[in-house]
Structures are given as C-alpha cells and as structure tokens.
Amino acid sequence: MKVFAGAAAVILATAPVAIAASPHKATEVLVHGAFETSGVWDRVTAKLEKDGYSVKTVDLPGRPGNEAPMSAISLDLYQQTIATAIAGERHPVVLVGHSFGGFAISAEAEAEPDKVQTLLYVAAYLPRSGDSLLTMATADRGSKLAPLLVINKEKGYASVAPEAGAAVFASDAPAAVQSIVAGGIVNEPLAPLVTPIVLTDSRFGSVDKVTIRTLRDQVVSTPFQVEMAKSTPVRLQLTIDTGHTPFVTEPNRLALEIEKAAGPHRRTL
C-alpha cells in the first residue's frame, strides 16, 4: 500500500529524479514500523537514490506486500525477513528502523552483527535485552497511542482506529494529509509486539548506533526517546522537528539526516 507516500506527495508535489547508486555508499535498508507497510518510505527512497545511495525497503510479514497467517508471525520471522533482504549484499548495510522497526533491526543486528554497518533508529524503540514493545510502550507516559489500541487476541492482531491513529501518527500534518495517512494504517500482528527481545553486548552491543529524534512525537514521546538513548550508547543523536512520521511531512529532510548518520564504511564482510 502506498497511501503514506500519497500523503507525502500532497506536501511535496515534485519527486526527485533518481541517479545511479554510488558503490562507495552503504546500502540503506529501510524497515517500517507497526501499522505500516514499506510504502511509507517511497519519498525518502527517491531522495536517497537521487543522492547516489542504493536503497532496499522491507515489508515485514503479515500485511499487504507480504501476506502471512497471523499465527505464523513472530519477532524471529521479522529478523529472518530482514536477513533475507540483505543476504546478497557484499558490504555491511545501514539498517534504518522506524518506531517498532527498531525492534526488528535490533534483532537482525543480534543475529548477524557483521552484516550491519549502522543501526539507525528513526522515532524508534531502542530496546534493551528483555524489553518488548508492550513493556516499552507502557513505560512511555508521554505517548498518546495506548488509548487508541484495540487488541484482538482471538485473531492475533492489534489495530488502531484509522482517523484517530492518523491524528496521532501525523500530528504535525494538515487534516487533508492525516486523512490520507488514515487510509494506509494496517492491522499489526500481535505476537512480535509482546515478545521480549534477547540482545547481547558481544553481538548487538558491538554494532554502531545512531538515533534520529522526532521533536513533536505523540507516539514515541520525545522524552522517552531521550531516555532510551541514555540507556543504550549511541554514536550520534540527530533531531528532526516533526511528529512521528517524518517520511510524510519532511521526507527530503529525513533522507538528509539518514545520510548524515550513514558515514563511511566501518566494517567489511
């Protein structure tokens, strides 16, 4: 689904023209968050490719673009999906995770640390071992998302009322854009959200980490993003003055921040 991308197009009418990717730049692998598909990255991808980056986007299982039974979906499957996406890469990649995508990229770094140059957390959860999305979201007292969640244990998914969710996800966007964002909200498999992640200092802890903090976020609150970066050492902390979905309201600016975070290669395979 490309609805989030359509919302970005309302704000930015002209798309940048892609050029050939530079062999000297790390591949950027973009991983969406909960209630999203890979379409949220379309405008960011266009800018990164214009600037010479090779980009891959990942649709995690259990949503349009990668259908799977809810009963078969797990955090391990999310990690394996990312591993499959980067299996052919000759150099370590930059894994970019938005929101709950922070869990997915962290799991991949734990499984295959040598394949990851940098973990980049965009308005994302930066977990410690033993954390789950449920425990972290519950600890975030500044988040306005929790009252909007509907948990369907029988069918194995969480959902958000589209219009209410869009008003929180894209809180800094005009109403017309929020309406488009609402059409892109999908159900989220429940099991990965409640699964504690296992991370070790020798594997996950060895991988370079950067955060892009969103200064008007109502989903992963800005103070909570600050606290997470204090709990887990990161090389660089960047900021962007948006709500939770900068790929909608400031896609070109977000792409530039991602480029700042990438830096030179630090690993070889």
Cα dist. 30→54, 55, 135, 138 in Å? 11, 7, 24, 26
Tell me which CATH code domain 3-261 carries. Answer: 3.40.50.1820
Domain boundaries, the chain: 3-261
Tens digits of residue pLDDT in 2-47:
556 556 554 444 333 333 444 568 999 999 999 999 999 999 999 9
Longest Cα separation, the chain: 49
Tens digits of residue pLDDT in 223-242:
999 999 999 999 999 999 99
CB-CB contact of 28 with 53 (8 Å): yes
Cα dist. 246→87, 111, 232 in Å? 28, 29, 23
pLDDT of 263? 65
- Does this model's pTM top 0.85? yes
Backbone phi and psi for residue 251, each to the nearest 5 degrees, phi listed first: -65, -40
Tens digits of residue pLDDT in 168-180:
999 999 999 999 9
Q: Identify the H or E element spanning 163.
A: helix 162-169
Coil, strand, or helix at residue 150?
strand
